[in-house]
């Protein structure tokens, strides 16, 4: 298949690897919009580095893309090496993701970064104005809880607030969207757990705003009104597109946390 003819920095391909699904799309870097088809495939189980990288390569190949590729992972990524692996196979720990993806995708600009950092970067570039002002904590609610800290739009990478212990329980075990499903909670009951978690983040970090993304941000109207914390909580504008867009941006701009 022929690759789309574009200026090197006009488009890049973003992939967001989640616990259950892998999403990918070619992204217009000026607008943050997808160009053409959005690809969604089940995450291979077990989600080992080679199985996931082979799936990423298949998506990129199907799209006929031979330019930069960014991949967002639910891991702390330091100098392209996965340092943690939550909601993904433990074999990722210690994997040099750049080498792995080069083996599967060939030599090209590649970037690997934490999924919440990717989503936050996309929101800062293309989302709500508040994301670019003050000290903002961006959170994603999905299989886990991802976090990204921004001071006036600049990322402090690899924060892991989802694993903060609240009364002895990890925040994400209490209040991720997976926890809502697992414990059969309605929006009000789940929102009260989110409130507990955000109150603790507020007490420790005093951000100017929380911005909430992930699939559940689509239903923000059903749970945001139940929150009682002082800090403004705003739904992300890019919803669950953000991880893919941020991964593509990282590849084009050579972001290496
Ligand atoms: C992981 C984070 C990730 C978040 C959202 C957490 O379990 O530790 O690295 O950002 O899930 O996927």
Domain co-membership, 113 together with 86: yes
> Is the CB of 146 inside a 6 Å radius of any atom of ligand 1?
yes
E strand or H helix at 68, and its extent?
none
Residue 15, token pair as written in the block: 């992939």
> Is the CB of 75 inside a 6 Å radius of any atom of ligand 1?
yes
Q: 3-state SS of the chain: helix, strand, coil percent to 5?
A: 40, 25, 35
Q: Supply the range of the domain harboring residue 159.
A: 130-236
Residue ID of nearest Cα to ligand 1 atom 12: 74
Domain co-membership, 64 together with 147: no
pLDDT of residue 6: 47
Domain co-membership, 85 together with 29: yes
> Is the CB of 95 inside a 6 Å radius of any atom of ligand 1?
no
Within a domain: 159: yes
pLDDT digits (tens, 9 = 90+) for 54-97: 999 999 999 999 999 999 999 999 999 999 998 899 999 999 99
pLDDT of residue 5: 45
Within a domain: 3: no
pLDDT digits (tens, 9 = 90+) for 15-24: 999 988 999 9
pLDDT of residue 87: 85
Mutation test of ligand 1: which of 160, 173, 176, 179 has the most ligand atoms closer than 8 Å to its C-beta? 160
Residue 3 pLDDT > 60, yes or no?
no
pLDDT of residue 8: 56
Considering the chain, what percentage of its residues have pLDDT values greater than 70?
96
pLDDT of residue 127: 94
Residue ID of nearest Cα to ligand 1 atom 5: 146
User: H-type helices in the chain, by residue range?
Assistant: 49-62, 97-105, 115-126, 171-175, 177-182, 187-205, 220-223, 242-253
> Is the CB of 114 inside a 6 Å radius of any atom of ligand 1?
yes
As a whole number, mean pLDDT of residues 181-200 equals 97
Atom index in ligand 1 nearest the CA of residue 117 equals 10
Q: How far is the CA of 6 from the centre of ligand 1 (A)?
A: 33
Q: How many domains does the chain have?
A: 2
Residue 1 pLDDT > 70, yes or no?
no
Mutation test of ligand 1: which of 16, 145, 158, 197 has the most ligand atoms closer than 8 Å to its C-beta? 145
Domain co-membership, 137 together with 176: yes
Residues 6 or more apart in contact with residue 44 via CB below 8 angstroms: 51, 52, 54, 55
Mutation test of ligand 1: which of 20, 47, 74, 76 has the most ligand atoms closer than 8 Å to its C-beta? 74
Residue 141, token pair as written in the block: 């609610």
As a whole number, mean pLDDT of residues 142-165 equals 97
Residue 192 pLDDT > 50, yes or no?
yes
In whole numbers, what is the pLDDT of the chain averaged over residues? 94
pLDDT of residue 2: 39
pLDDT of residue 20: 87
Domain co-membership, 65 together with 109: yes
As a whole number, mean pLDDT of residues 217-245 equals 93
Considering the chain, what percentage of its residues have pLDDT values greater than 90?
89
DSSP letter at 211 equals E
């Amino acid at each position: 298949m022929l690759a789309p003819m574009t200026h090197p920095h006009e488009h890049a391909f973003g992939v967001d690897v989640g616990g259950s699904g892998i999403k990918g799309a070619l992204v217009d870097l000026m607008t943050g919009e997808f160009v053409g088809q959005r690809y969604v495939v089940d995450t291979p189980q077990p989600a080992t580095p080679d199985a996931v990288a082979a799936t990423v390569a298949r998506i990129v190949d199907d799209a006929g893309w031979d330019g930069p590729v960014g991949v967002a992972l639910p891991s702390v990524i330091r100098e392209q090496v996965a340092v943690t692996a939550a909601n993904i196979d433990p074999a990722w720990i210690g994997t040099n993701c750049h080498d792995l993806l080069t083996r599967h995708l060939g030599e090209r600009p590649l970037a690997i970064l934490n999924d919440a950092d990717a989503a936050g970067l996309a929101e800062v570039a293309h989302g709500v104005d508040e994301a670019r002002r003050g000290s903002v904590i961006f959170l994603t609610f999905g299989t886990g809880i991802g976090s990204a800290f921004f001071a006036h739009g600049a990322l402090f990478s690899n924060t892991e607030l989802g694993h903060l212990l609240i009364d002895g329980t990890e925040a994400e075990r209490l209040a991720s969207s997976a926890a809502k499903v697992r414990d059969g909670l309605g929006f009000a009951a789940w929102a009260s757990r989110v409130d507990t978690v955000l109150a603790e983040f507020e007490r420790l970090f005093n951000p100017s705003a929380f911005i909430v993304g992930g699939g559940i941000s689509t239903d923000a109207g059903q749970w945001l009104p139940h929150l009682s914390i002082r800090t403004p909580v705003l739904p992300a504008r890019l919803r669950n597109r953000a991880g893919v867009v941020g991964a593509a941006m990282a590849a084009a701009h050579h972001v290496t946390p």
